[in-house]
Structure 1
Amino acid sequence: MSKPTDSKRRWSDLSPAQQGAVIAVGALQFGLQAFALRDLKRRPARQVRGPKPAWAAASFINFLGPLAYLRWGRR
């Protein structure tokens, strides 16, 4: 029997351009989430559509959560 090949890609398998793209997308995601959480913390509850804890939890959903809060969560 032959061993199954490990099909998972490792960081070292990526080209420098791909590594840079992963870092850039990760930084963008982190920045969006940080901005959304900071805005949510500073904004009065009456200026937020829905419960603030729910929006805080939603901000942990990659890209979709912070963008949804910034688009629909603020009054």
Structure 2
Amino acid sequence: MPAIVGAIKVNTIGSSGVFHVGDVFIVSPTSAIRTFAGGGSFNTGDGLNVNSNYSVTTVNDSDIADQNVVANI
């Protein structure tokens, strides 16, 4: 159905984000990521005190491809 859309303000769109206005048949955002993190990672907040005197991130990833993004239209 047609729609009347007023003013639109877009500040940011991420790498796998989708922005559409109006009719749409398929919305298909795609991303593939591999993350390795050690001790004290991904901490958020005010006034953090993180002590990681000894931290080792050991990665044994024998896969050649973890997430295949193929034929995404």
- Measured against the shorter chain, the TM-score band is under 0.3
Larger Rg: 2
Larger fraction in helix: 1
TM-score, length-normalised on structure 2?
Answer: 0.21
